[in-house]
Amino acid sequence: MAGHNDHAIHALFLAFAGELSAYVRRWPNEPFTGDIVQEAFLRLLEYPQPETIKEPRAFLLRTANNVAVDYYRRGKTRDRVSRRDRFSGSG
């Protein structure tokens, strides 16, 4: 992918957003699918050397997977802390 411009990002979004959404929905944090897809594209925009991305689809899928894992782990942590607080009476 050679540099960022609005047209290229828009074209990538149109080409891959649906596929990314379907991919992310397999995770148990489905309510956050839109957020995860949006975060994947944001990370693409913020990537320091976009010209080194030869396969934008693969980059987006891997990034969406990583973001989904992060959301899942944060949710598990929140659940664990919430249960602990309920049992200790501090929540």
Residue type present at position 17: A
pLDDT of residue 2: 47
CB-CB contact of 29 with 72 (8 Å): yes
Average pLDDT, integer, range 36-41: 95
Q: What is the pTM of this model?
A: 0.74
The CA distances from residue 59 to 12, 80, 88, in Å, are 11, 32, 43
Whether the pLDDT of residue 70 is over 50: the answer is yes
d(CA 44, CA 34): 16
